[in-house]
């Protein structure tokens, strides 16, 4: 479950949000910033919130770790593709 939700967060969401922003007319630095915003890893505070709410804090911790590790790769690839395409 952690891997599938992390893949959605780090791959599907940035692609769809950046495409949507591009269709809405965002270009240049604004488009790059939106990509980084939607492609950022899960905040560490989600672990604390899940624990305090008696939620699945172990799942939250796994998602934090996976998305943080994936961000190093997906962010670089995304920025490279946006620059290569001439969109930023």
Please state the φ and ψ torsions of residue 54, each to the nearest 5 degrees.
55, 35
Cα–Cα dist 7/24, whole Å: 25
pLDDT digits (tens, 9 = 90+) for 27-80: 999 999 999 999 999 999 999 999 999 999 999 999 999 999 999 999 999 999
Per-residue pLDDT of 6-17, as tens digits, reads 999 999 999 999
| pTM as predicted | 0.87
pLDDT at residue 45, as a whole number: 93
Helices in the chain by DSSP H: which ranges? Answer: 2-7, 13-23, 28-38, 45-52, 57-84
pLDDT at 40: 94
Measured distance CA(63)–CA(12) in Å, rounded: 15
Q: Name the residue ranges covered by the structural domains of the chain.
A: 2-84
Q: Take residue 43 and report the two structure tokens written for it.
A: 């905040």
């Amino acid at each position: 479950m952690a891997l599938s939700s992390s893949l959605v967060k780090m791959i599907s969401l940035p692609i769809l949000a950046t495409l949507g922003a591009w269709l809405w007319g965002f270009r240049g630095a604004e488009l790059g910033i939106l990509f980084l915003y939607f492609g950022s890893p899960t905040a560490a505070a989600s672990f604390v919130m899940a624990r305090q709410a008696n939620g699945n804090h172990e799942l939250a911790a796994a998602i934090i770790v996976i998305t943080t590790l994936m961000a190093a790769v997906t962010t670089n690839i995304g920025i490279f593709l946006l620059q290569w395409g001439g969109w930023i």
